[in-house]
Every structure is written in C-alpha cells, then in structure tokens.
C-alpha cells in the first residue's frame, strides 16, 4: 500500500512562521523607503521655500515682513509668487502642494474644512516670527545666518483648534481695538512659530549661561505626535528621526528629538549672542 507524503503540522507551522518573518522584514524595508522618500520631498520643498525668501531679500534689499500692513500682503503669499503660483486663481484658497507636507498626518486626521465651512488654507510650514515679525535687514541677525532658524515643518492642524493658515493676514486676528484675539477664540493662526500672538513657547535668554531656554523648561518640539494630542505652541516633526528646518543661510538640516534645549532655543533667537552648534 502506497503511503502519501505531505507536510506535518509542525512543518506547516514552521513554513508559515518563516513567511511571516519575511513579510515583516519586507514591510519594514518598504516603510523605511517610503519614509526616506517623503523626507527627501519635504527637504526639497523646504529648500525651495528658503530660496524664494532669499530671492525676495535680493529683490527688496531688506527682510520681508511676515505681514506688510501697508500692502495687505503676507510673507507666504510672496513666496507663492516667487514659486510661480498665482494665488488669485485659487478660488477655494485651500490646500496647495507648495506648502503641503505629504507626511503631515493632520490632513487625513481632520476634515478638509472647518465646521463653519471656511477654507482653512492649511500649511505644513512655519516661519520664525522672531526674524520676520520685526527685523528689517539681515544685519539684525547678529547671531549669524548659519545659527538662526528661518523655516520649519509643523503640523497644518494641531489639537482641537490652531489651523496653520497660509492665506491668513495678521490683521484678520485683530478685534475692533486692534488687539489680537486669544487663541482659544480664534481657530486660525498665521504660518509662524515662536509667535507671541498665539501664546507660542518662546526662547528666554539666560545671561548667566549665555544661552536661551524655552519659556517652559525642557520642551523643544514634538516628534510625530497624534494630531489631536499635539501642542500648537511648539513645532511638530512628521518623521521620528527629527525636525526638518532651514537656517537663514539657506541650509536645510534635521534636528534630532534629543537636541539640547539650550541649543534648540538659542538657534531660534536672531540676536542674543549665543554660541550654537546644531551639528
């Protein structure tokens, strides 16, 4: 009588286990490739925005302001013009690729529009308000162009309010007495960071140590927080390896989540005289 040959239960379990391990390794490798590709795209967008700001500086012979009161135009709109985007044709004034980070999870987490049906014009970047909110020339950046942040990634929407908006003029957030609405009453914010109009965390200079530290000790930025649990007062990194930022000299780099808070906050101030080493 001929006996049939087949897999025993132990052999079948072994084969399935090997396949599961191989699939896990493959999925991990694919995920790493996707993350690497997304980060490269983010770095390229950051570099293009930074180049546009330098072109504006060359054209105007001065630093562009976050908001030009006399011309009712803000810095993000000028960057769009430099990138060849005609924002006047964007009737929806919503999400545009130039200011979008594909790895920003808040676009998928939150609905496209706010509850009152306003177009948010969300952006995944923020400009350093300590530079563009008051300085008029690069000469005011006495800490050095290579030691001062210009631009950073951040979540387009954060927490229960705080929508980072590239279409927003600073004046929209003012009441009849030209005072800024509290953040708790106003869900949109400008495309900035370290902005005291929105109760952001700010660098506070420590003369004894000759460094700046955050207004809340120990906090710097958040690495890949869930959109509904992120803190709108600080920046958010879309990659666990760190925060993609551009410096005023045009260079783009990734800041580690383990960065010394003194180094991080000192790199945001343009004129306090701190010695910064981001490498």
Counted domains in the chain: 1
Of 108, 147, 104, 141, the residue nearest 239 (C-alpha): 104
For residue 274, tell me if it sits in a domain. Answer: no
How confident is the model over 74-116, as pLDDT tens digits? 899 889 889 988 766 665 556 788 999 999 998 888 765 544 4
For residue 21, tell me if it sits in a domain. Answer: yes
| Residues 120, 188 contacting (CB under 8 angstroms) | yes
- CB atoms < 10 A from the CB of 86, how many? 8
Of 78, 35, 99, 9, the residue nearest 254 (C-alpha): 35
How confident is the model over 241-257, as pLDDT tens digits? 999 999 999 999 999 99
For residue 148, tell me if it sits in a domain. Answer: yes
How far is Cα 263 from Cα 206, in angstroms, rounded to an integer?
Answer: 12
- Comparison of pLDDT for 165 and 246, the residue scoring more: 246
For residue 86, tell me if it sits in a domain. Answer: yes
For residue 279, tell me if it sits in a domain. Answer: no
Buried b (16+ CB within 10 A) or exposed e, 179-201: ebeebeebbbbbbbbbbebbebb
Radius of gyration over alpha carbons of the chain, in Å? Answer: 23
How confident is the model over 116-159, as pLDDT tens digits? 445 457 899 999 999 999 899 999 999 999 999 999 999 998 88
Q: Does the structure show a pLDDT above 60 at 221? A: yes
For residue 243, tell me if it sits in a domain. Answer: yes
For residue 272, tell me if it sits in a domain. Answer: no
How confident is the model over 25-82, as pLDDT tens digits? 777 655 565 666 788 999 999 999 999 999 999 999 999 988 765 555 689 988 988 9
| Residue-range definition of the domain harbouring residue 97 | 12-266
- pLDDT at 183 (0 to 100): 45
- pLDDT at 15 (0 to 100): 74
* Predicted TM-score of the model (pTM): 0.81
């Amino acid at each position: 009588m001929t006996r049939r040959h087949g897999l025993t239960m132990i052999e079948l379990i072994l084969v399935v286990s090997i396949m599961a391990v191989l699939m896990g390794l493959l999925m991990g490798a694919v995920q790493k490739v996707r993350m690497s590709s997304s980060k490269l795209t983010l770095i390229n967008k950051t570099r293009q925005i930074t180049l546009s700001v330098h072109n504006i500086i060359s054209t105007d012979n001065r630093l562009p302001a976050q908001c030009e009161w006399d011309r009712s135009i803000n810095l993000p709109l000028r960057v769009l013009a430099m990138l060849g985007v005609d924002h006047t044709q964007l009737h929806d004034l919503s999400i545009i690729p130039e200011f979008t980070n594909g790895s920003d999870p808040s676009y998928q987490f939150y609905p496209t529009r706010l509850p009152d049906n306003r177009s948010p014009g969300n952006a995944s970047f923020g400009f350093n308000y300590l530079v563009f909110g008051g300085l008029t020339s690069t000469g005011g950046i006495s800490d050095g162009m290579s030691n001062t942040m210009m631009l950073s990634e951040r979540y387009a929407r954060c927490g229960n309010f705080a929508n980072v908006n590239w279409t927003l003029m600073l004046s929209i957030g003012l009441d009849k007495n030209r005072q800024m609405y509290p953040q708790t009453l106003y869900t949109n914010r400008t495309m900035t960071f370290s902005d005291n109009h929105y109760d952001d965390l700010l660098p506070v200079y420590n003369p004894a140590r000759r460094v700046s530290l955050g207004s809340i000790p120990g906090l710097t930025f958040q690495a890949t927080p869930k959109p509904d649990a992120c803190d709108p007062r600080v920046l958010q990194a879309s990659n666990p390896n760190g925060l993609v930022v551009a410096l005023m000299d045009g260079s783009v780099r990734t800041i580690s989540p383990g960065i010394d808070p003194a180094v991080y906050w000192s790199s945001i101030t343009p004129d306090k005289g701190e010695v910064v080493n981001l490498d």
